[in-house]
Structures are given as C-alpha cells and as structure tokens.
C-alpha cells in the first residue's frame, strides 16, 4: 500500500497554524469512524493497544510485533493519518531503530519515542523514572536515522514536567529539538504559564498529552505552537461499556430485537465497505468475462 499522501497531510498539519484534537482509535472500524467524522488525524496509543490486544493494563508487557500488527490493521482499513505512541521504543536505542522500521512499514504517519525508563525497575514499581537526557538524545537520533521515508514524523516525548519539573522538561525538549525531531510530545502541562515557558524555549511543533483544563482552547494552543492536543481515550472505554451492557442485557433475557444502542444495518454495511465487497464478488466470482 502507499502511505505517502496521508504522511504528507500529517506533515502539513504540523507545518500549519491550527491545533486539532485527534480521534483515539483502536481497530479498523474505529479508524473508519474517525475518518468518516472528519478527524484530521487518528491516535493509537500503547495503553489502548494493551487493552485491545491483550486485555491488560498499560504495564509495558505488549510486544513491538503485537503493536505494529494492530497499527497495520488500522492503517490498511482506510486513509486516516495515524499517530502512534511507540512508548520507549521497546528497549534501548537499537530497539528504537527496529521499532521505527516496523511502524514505518505498518503505515503510520507519526510516532513518538519517550524517555521514560520502561519497564518499571525492580524494587520501585511505583516510582516512574526517566532515562538521562543523553540516552534520550541517543534514542531520538537512532529513530531519525532508522526511517527511510522522510515524510514519517518522529516526535520526542517526555513526561518530565510531571516527574522532574518544568525546567527538566524544557531541557529535554531543547535537547531533542537539537537532535532533529519533527515534533515535541509533552505530557502533563497544566497551566498557560507552563505552556508559555515551553513555547518560548523551543520552535519545534508541539503535541500535548494529559493537558490541564486551563489550556484547552484550540486558538490559544495554536498560538503557542501546539498542533495536536490529546483528549484521552474515551472511545475504547465507551466500546467496553457498550459491549458489557449488551451482553448483560442478553444474559438477563432481553430479546435481541429490543436491545438499545445497536448500530444500524446501514451503518454496519457502510463501515465494513459492504458495497465494495459486493461489487468485487460480482466482478471476480460472477463467472463473467
């Protein structure tokens, strides 16, 4: 498949003047829904992948091949530009290279590599730590060197604002910017003063995760260099609730015809590309010449 056009759209988004909310997606159908609704970009996170693929919490037990496989299923289902959270690159800088190779092949448009020490260290499972700035820079350089399609966006991600404070977050952002990343993915900026400080210290486009309510204004975010601002991952939680409620209703004796909040047959046909499959069936299995 060809990924160029969607990657060019994603790069244009970073180079533009607007900030957008991404659609959190987790499988082919959710990606098609996000695309149909007009989301400029989709987001597939490591935590959501753990839920979808393993039914497990976000504890770094998901493998690269599992993550890349689901990312590919999402990418091939439509034409949505996809940003993925590649966690710590599944190891050291050499593992980061492999991660970039696999996710580029899977069709993602942008990926983030973070500087969190993962998995949790023995003896301090609840103590989130960061690797050194030097090691983080090495990971960013490895990611940039590994990509073959220069349209693929590499974002340097850090949660330093939450863990070590704003000064360290800015120092890491500046170091990753100097390494040449295409975007800076900052977690946990809560106030306008914090974002203003970051925006004055770097020139690279920003992606924000777990932002504070004080800064959730798209015009303000855009004016500070933010181009993508996450809104969490409500769709997967909504899907779980819907499946639970439906199965419980069936178990409790509700007839299928009386179930609430069920997608219509028309919607299911539209999202599964039923008309295309019918056409292909007639064309290739119909026996005509």
pLDDT tens across 224-273, in order? 999 999 999 999 999 999 999 999 999 999 999 999 999 999 999 999 99
Segments of the chain with pLDDT less than 50: none
Q: For residues 182 and 78, what is the distance between their CA atoms, to the nearest angstrom?
A: 25
Of 115, 118, 112, 153, nearest to 135 by C-alpha is: 115
Residue (of 53, 73, 10, 77) closest to 271 by Cα position: 77
Closest CA to 86 of 48, 51, 46: 46
pLDDT of residue 289: 59
Burial class, 212, CB count within 10 angstroms (exposed 0-12 / middle 13-18 / buried 19+): middle
Q: Are 181 and 140 in contact (CB under 8 A)?
A: yes
Burial classification of residue 3, based on how many CB atoms lie within 10 Å of its CB (0-12 exposed, 13-18 middle, 19 or more buried): buried
**44 closest CA partner among 53, 36, 120:** 53
Percent of the chain clearing pLDDT 70 (strictly above): 99
Domains in the chain: ranges and CATH: 4-233 (3.20.20.60), 239-285 (no CATH)
Q: Determine the pLDDT at residue 125.
A: 87
**Strand 226-229 relative to strand 206-209, pairing:** parallel
pLDDT given at position 231: 97
For 131-150, the pLDDT digits (tens) are 999 999 999 999 999 999 99
Other C-beta atoms lying within 10 Å of the C-beta of residue 278: 11
Distances (CA, A) of 277 to 45, 65, 200, 271: 30, 29, 52, 12
Residues forming beta bridges with residue 71, ordered by sequence position:
none
Output the pLDDT for position 288: 65
Residue 93: beta bridge partners?
Answer: none
Residue (of 59, 58, 85) closest to 70 by Cα position: 85
* Residue 208 dihedral angles phi and psi, to the nearest 5°: -115, 135
Q: What is the pLDDT of residue 287?
A: 78
């Amino acid at each position: 498949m060809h990924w160029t056009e969607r990657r060019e759209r994603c790069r244009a988004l970073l180079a533009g003047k607007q900030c957008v909310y991404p659609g959190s997606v987790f499988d082919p159908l959710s990606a098609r829904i996000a695309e149909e609704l007009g989301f400029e970009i989709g987001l597939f996170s490591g935590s959501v992948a753990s839920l979808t693929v393993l039914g497990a919490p976000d504890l770094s037990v998901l493998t690269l091949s599992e993550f890349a496989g689901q990312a590919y299923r999402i990418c091939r289902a439509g034409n949505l530009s996809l940003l993925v959270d590649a966690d710590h690159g599944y190891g050291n800088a050499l593992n980061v290279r492999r991660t970039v190779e696999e996710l580029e092949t899977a069709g993602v448009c942008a990926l983030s590599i973070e500087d969190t020490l993962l998995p949790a260290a023995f003896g301090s499972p609840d103590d989130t730590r960061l690797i050194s700035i030097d090691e983080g820079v090495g990971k960013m350089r490895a990611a940039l060197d590994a990509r073959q399609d220069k349209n693929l966006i590499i974002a340097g991600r850090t949660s330093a604002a939450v863990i070590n404070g704003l000064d360290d977050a800015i120092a890491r952002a500046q170091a990753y910017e100097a390494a040449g990343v295409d975007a800076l993915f900052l977690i946990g900026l809560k106030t306008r003063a914090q974002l203003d400080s970051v925006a004055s210290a770097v020139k690279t486009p920003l992606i924000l995760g777990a932002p504070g309510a004080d800064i959730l204004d798209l015009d303000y975010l855009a004016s500070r260099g933010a181009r993508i601002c996450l809104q969490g991952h409500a769709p997967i939680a909504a899907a779980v609730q819907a499946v639970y409620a439906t199965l419980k209703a069936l178990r409790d004796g509700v007839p299928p015809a009386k179930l609430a909040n069920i997608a219509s047959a028309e919607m299911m046909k539209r999202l599964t590309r039923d008309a295309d499959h019918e056409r292909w069936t007639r064309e290739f299995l119909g026996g005509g010449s």
